[in-house]
Amino acid sequence: MTTQAALPLDVLAYVRSARSSWPAPVSLPWVVDPEVLESRRSRRSWSGPLAPVSVAAALEAARLLDAALWPGEEPLGATVVTPDEGMLMQVDLAAAPALVLWHGDVEAAIAAHGGAGYRLLLTRGGAAAATFLLHIQQHGGVGCLTDGLLPPLRDDVPPAGRLALIGAAFGVPAEEED
């Protein structure tokens, strides 16, 4: 686990002074096992989908993080789809068994926060997606984040009035070759 002492003091001073409105540290009902972080590897192929209960648990972890760090904000949406090459700039990710897309209401975010609203949505989407991937790894899955989403993704994705922020292709990894 990284401690504050591991960071240069000038970085800590900058972060502390950068925004006085950053939320206070949050205690969440879950943690990511440090062994998960140490065991991460690059994978290029999948053998199949994850169990729906594992996906649901990872989506819930992402939702809890978003609600805890940004209380009072409109919740992000998450839609799980089967990817195809027409959806992604990284066509190799279309081979993944599933893709989760986080989406948000840009107009509402800008109305609430001005020009920073869009950046806030992107930050929240990135945090949710990273949390999701760490949690699917705890359930035997692997994945890859992508912001290479090609519009229109599909008629129903993202829902009307919402913008796709980030995606994560995921599934069960194929056996490693020597």
* pLDDT tens digits, one per residue of 109-135: 999 999 899 999 999 999 999 999 989
Angle between helices 106-113 and 116-138 (to 10 degrees): 120
- Is 33 domain-assigned? no
Q: Report the distance separating Cα 90 and Cα 86, nearest Å.
A: 10
Average pLDDT, the chain: 79
Cβ-contact 101, 78 below 8 angstroms: yes
H-run or E-run covering 14? helix 9-18
Q: Report the distance separating Cα 47 and Cα 26, nearest Å.
A: 36
- Is 99 domain-assigned? yes
* pLDDT tens digits, one per residue of 132-161: 998 998 888 989 898 888 776 667 777 777
- Is 92 domain-assigned? yes
> Any idea what the CATH number is for the domain that residue 99 is in?
3.40.109.10
- Is 6 domain-assigned? no
- Is 70 domain-assigned? yes
- Is 22 domain-assigned? no
Structurally, how many domains does the chain consist of? 1
User: Which residue range forms the structural domain that includes residue 126?
Assistant: 44-173
- Direct distance between the N- and C-terminal alpha carbons of the chain, in angstroms, rounded to an integer: 31
- Is 21 domain-assigned? no
- Is 135 domain-assigned? yes
